[in-house]
Structure 1
Amino acid sequence: MHFFDRLKGMLADLNSSDPTDDLAPDAVTASEDQTLTTNQTAALILVHHLDADGHELQAPDMIAGQIGDEIHLPDVSIAGYHLVNIDGLTRWFTAPQARIVLTYERQAGQPVWVYAYDIDQRQLIGIPMMSRGKLGTPYQVTAPTVAGFKLLRSVGDLTGEYTTTSKTVLFFYRNQNWQQTDLSTGFVKIHAETAVYPYAGATTTNYLTKLQAGTVFKTYMRVQLTNGETWYMVGDDQWIPESHVQLTDGDEVLLKLPTGYTAQNKRQVRQTGIVSFVPNKRVHTYIAPYGRYLTTVTHGETVQLTERLADDNGVVWYHIQDKGYLPGRYLTNLNPPHQ
């Protein structure tokens, strides 16, 4: 409930009692041997609206009446402030001239959130930080220091004012030993038995299994270290050095399309769809159905569909304009729904 609403309720309760009853200590009343003269002497009260430093927030309000009349405070709402103190308030006009001082405090603005993000592994590398301040006061964000990482860039306003809307600043980092990364995927063929390591550049490993010569593995990232070495990621926390592999097109492990797939189950469409994967995550598209990765699309993204394919096993694929093929199970809200 608004403060003035509560105050009015309190005054209304007082109105139900005899005006000569004792009032609260902070109220100025007539003494027992003095009677207020009503409707005879004009009275004027100035109501001042001040901030915590004593500055006027708006022009004073004037309340006119006569001595003995009941005082009715105006309804006041000052954006960005809330009332914290009232000085000089009485129930009735008691003098020809008086003042009431309302003191307001600046409301708190919405927070500014700061995140440190590994740009290559696509994950947070630290606890999110939050700063808050009074509305309209300035803020300045600095990049947190993250052990083992170097800062690449930031997204968001590093300086500004606290407002009624929360803000986000993202700082992107890269492993300090990584010089360059390539997120495109492919296949490598092992040409010499090799161990699997927990991170790029590792010299020891707890993985017991070794990859055998002649086997082919899908890769998810290629990293060039600051010392010139190149490593491939073949799984979560699973890395192998380039010196033990050679690139391949992966024909040995790619699934083959059903016979007559393209000729029998292909048609052009003009639809839109919404990518449905995992919130805040991206899903890969393919050069061709069952082929190699081409790029990625984001959960919730609206895409243009130009072609529909369905194989003999009932798997549906859609071609996304300029972005390759995506299984139909990752698309919702097709518009039009049927084509």
Structure 2
Amino acid sequence: MMTDIQLQGMPVWVYSRNIDNQKVVAPSRLVEGALGSTYTVEPKPIEGYKFVRADGDIKGQLGETMHTVTLYYRPESYLEAQKLEGKYLHVVAPVNTYRDVDGEPDGFSLWANMVVKVVNRVATANGKFWYQMADSRWVPFSMHQMSLSNDDGQNSEQGWQLHTAWEPTPMTAEATIDFVPERRLNVYDRPYGEIIGQIVDGAPVEIIEKVEDDADNVWYHMDQYGWVSSLYIKMK
């Protein structure tokens, strides 16, 4: 008696990671089935995270070659995240360090006159900016405790100063908000300041001032709104 044997296709490995630090946020899983059968990888809800994007073929047929799909997530509390290169915090007053953004102090501190390299910056829903150091710890940004700079502290001939305010440069330009479709961008009362409102992606705005800080980050002042990072402004 003949028996039909159904061959199995090679599985698809599915990984879930934090897009900002590559940490695993959920157990890996396998998508399995018969050779030639179709598959679809759906991002599963993960408490405390929101889905961002996928790398790899999320739809296809199971064949003779194994595939991988990586699903990238970001903490729900993150509004904006940016990787940094060649940036340093110059500390002028003691500040606690944290293992995670919006977490509890880890028992360590940065002290006055320290210079530390930072590799990531995050803006959170509660209006704070956080910087991640090269050793993976986080510090909340305070204009009274630190300054962000390109200076690594090794050049004694060119010092740095703590800026509690930067001198705006008047300008006039038409622009639009270039954020995430159907999402609202936070608007601040000053660069690195307090959130005073939100503005929808694609909204037309008039730029009346700009500020460039010591680390070459540019902020624009929108007439009748407030300040936003140049990362989310598209000039007309």
Is TM-score (shorter-chain normalized) higher than 0.5? yes
Identical positions, percent:
28
Q: Name the one with the larger strand percent.
A: 2
Give the match for residue 143 of structure 1: 43
1:128 equivalenced with 2:42 (yes/no): no
1:161 equivalenced with 2:61 (yes/no): yes
CA distance, structure 2, for counterparts of residue 255 and residue 150 of structure 1: 45
Q: Is the 8 A contact 2:90 2:113 kept in 1?
A: yes
1:113 equivalenced with 2:13 (yes/no): yes
Structure 1 residues 255 and 162, CA, compared in 2 at 3 Å: closer, same or farther? farther
Give the match for residue 63 of structure 1: none
Code of the residue aligned with 1:171 in structure 2: it is L
Code of the residue aligned with 1:135 in structure 2: it is L
Aligned pair count?
154
1:189 equivalenced with 2:97 (yes/no): no
Structure 1 residues 251 and 125, CA, compared in 2 at 3 Å: closer, same or farther? closer
TM-score by length of 2: 0.59
* 1:34-183 pair list within 5 angstroms: 86=1, 102-183=2-83
Q: Is the 8 A contact 1:216 1:253 kept in 2?
A: no
- Report how far residue 246 of structure 1 moved: 0.7
153-162 vs 171-180, greater mean Cα deviation? 153-162
Structure 1 residues 189 and 142, CA, compared in 2 at 3 Å: closer, same or farther? same
Code of the residue aligned with 2:89 in structure 1: it is V
CA distance, structure 1, for counterparts of residue 73 and residue 134 of structure 2: 21
Structure 2: gaps of 5 or more residues: 158-236
Structure 1: gaps of 5 or more residues: 1-85, 87-101, 257-339
Q: Is the 8 A contact 1:197 1:237 kept in 2?
A: no
CA distance, structure 2, for counterparts of residue 179 and residue 226 of structure 1: 6
CA distance, structure 2, for counterparts of residue 221 and residue 197 of structure 1: 14
Q: Is the 8 A contact 2:121 2:129 kept in 1?
A: yes
SS in 2 for 1:184: strand
Counterpart of 1:245 (choices 136, 146, 153) is 146
CA distance, structure 2, for counterparts of residue 131 and residue 250 of structure 1: 49
Question: Which is greater in Rg?
Answer: 1
* 1:200-279 pair list within 5 angstroms: 200-202=101-103, 204-207=104-107, 209-243=108-142, 244-253=145-154
The structure, 1 or 2, with the larger RCO (C-alpha pairs under 8 Å, 6+ apart) is 2
CA distance, structure 1, for counterparts of residue 75 and residue 95 of structure 2: 24
Which deviations, in whole Å up to 9, do the C-alpha atoms of 1:212-253 show, x marking residues without a partner? 223211112111112221011124441111113111232423
CA distance, structure 2, for counterparts of residue 236 and residue 211 of structure 1: 13
Q: Name the one with the larger helix percent.
A: 1
